[in-house]
């Protein structure tokens, strides 16, 4: 240290801690970068937390042990770090920031880990339940633009858990391949229709450190029953979303913060017939036209932003 870059007392005065101020000063010797902005924001946030909570040495070690355990649980098949980000609402917030939609358009949400892109096409009205286990559900829907006109020839990909809350790729030995997955096309007016079975909600994995944390906090890991959709059409931003069963008891406590008022729908039950209840669901999904992004580029912004504002 020395010469032209001596620390100035006022630089640390506005910082959350002397160490955060000095960290900022050290970074400033290297010019701005996205990484430096992220490191500074992380230091500011962590120091604010330490100043607020004043953790003991034991508590600090417990926090380190927790993070170490999260790392031990993360591997190619299970991502405990993503699970942690999900239950803290971080994944959902990032999705909201990266996929803003104008008023009136259906909100975008996380695709989740169970999506498959290789699903064969489903004929209009076809049944995507390949084992017919569960209560029958008929889904009808329409894809529309912001002005309400139908979007013809849109591709509607759909996937959901079975009546026990499990996806086909979670139990490949028990469910037929592509069970409860479909790929439909809308007609000229934007309509689509398929048969399936009513999905059940499910819980996120509870056997790892994230599950233990949520249990200690008294918070649940449940996700209310839902159907995932990914809708794509030329001229429109691809819409990835879920539609949730409004009557599910967990509707107000989705563990990954995916539920929004526009995404709740009524799965209507008809009286029992032949020992089985039937359900219907009617939907309208509103797509947003392609828009120029900040800086005139499509896709996610990658350049540093001056004050750490949201990336849109």
Using CB under 5 A, list all residues that contact Fe ion: 112
The residue (of 112 and 304) whose beta carbon lies closer to Fe ion is: 112
- For the bound state, the minimum distance from the C-beta of residue 226 to Fe ion, rounded and expressed in Å, comes to 6
CB closest to Fe ion, residue no = 112
The residue (of 236 and 244) whose beta carbon lies closer to Fe ion is: 244
- For the bound state, the minimum distance from the C-beta of residue 114 to Fe ion, rounded and expressed in Å, comes to 6
- For the bound state, the minimum distance from the C-beta of residue 123 to Fe ion, rounded and expressed in Å, comes to 24
DSSP β-ladder status, 155-160 and 181-185: antiparallel
CA 48, CA 17: separation in Å to the nearest integer?
8
Ordered alpha helix ranges (H), the chain: 9-13, 18-28, 34-53, 57-73, 80-87, 90-98, 209-217
- For the bound state, the minimum distance from the C-beta of residue 298 to Fe ion, rounded and expressed in Å, comes to 28
Ordered strands of the 191-197 beta sheet: 191-197, 136-144, 276-286, 268-273
CA 177, CA 163: separation in Å to the nearest integer?
16
The residue (of 111 and 213) whose beta carbon lies closer to Fe ion is: 111
CA 242, CA 259: separation in Å to the nearest integer?
8
- For the bound state, the minimum distance from the C-beta of residue 112 to Fe ion, rounded and expressed in Å, comes to 5
The residue (of 16 and 259) whose beta carbon lies closer to Fe ion is: 259
The residue (of 12 and 201) whose beta carbon lies closer to Fe ion is: 201
Contact 202, 166 (CB under 8 A): yes
Contact 21, 13 (CB under 8 A): yes
């Amino acid at each position: 240290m020395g010469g032209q870059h001596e620390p100035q007392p006022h630089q640390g005065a506005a910082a959350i801690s002397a160490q955060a101020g000095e960290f900022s000063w050290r970074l400033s010797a290297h010019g701005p970068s996205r990484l430096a902005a992220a490191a500074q924001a992380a230091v500011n946030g962590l120091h604010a937390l330490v100043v607020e909570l004043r953790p003991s040495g034991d508590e600090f070690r417990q926090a380190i042990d927790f993070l170490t355990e999260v790392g031990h649980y993360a591997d190619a098949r299970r991502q405990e770090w993503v699970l942690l980000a999900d239950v803290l609402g971080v994944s959902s917030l990032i999705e909201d920031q990266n996929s803003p939609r104008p008023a009136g358009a259906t909100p975008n949400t996380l695709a989740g880990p169970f999506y498959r892109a290789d699903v064969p096409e489903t004929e209009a009205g076809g049944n995507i339940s390949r084992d017919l286990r569960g209560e029958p559900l008929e889904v009808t829907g329409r894809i529309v633009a912001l002005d309400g006109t139908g979007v013809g020839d849109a591709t509607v990909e759909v996937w959901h858990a079975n009546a026990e809350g499990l996806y086909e790729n979670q139990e490949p030995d028990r469910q037929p391949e592509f069970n409860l997955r479909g790929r439909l096309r809308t007609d000229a007016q934007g309509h689509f229709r398929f048969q399936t079975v009513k999905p059940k909600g499910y819980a996120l994995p509870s056997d790892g450190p994230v599950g233990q944390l949520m249990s200690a906090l008294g918070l649940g890991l449940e996700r209310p029953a839902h159907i995932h959709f990914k809708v794509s059409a030329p001229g429109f931003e691809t819409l990835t979303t879920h539609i949730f069963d409004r009557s599910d008891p967990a509707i107000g406590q989705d563990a990954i913060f995916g539920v929004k008022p526009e995404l709740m729908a009524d799965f209507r039950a008809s009286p029992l017939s032949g020992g089985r209840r039937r359900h219907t669901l009617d939907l309208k999904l509103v797509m947003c036209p392609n828009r120029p992004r900040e800086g005139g580029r499509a896709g996610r912004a990658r350049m540093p932003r001056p004050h750490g504002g949201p990336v849109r």
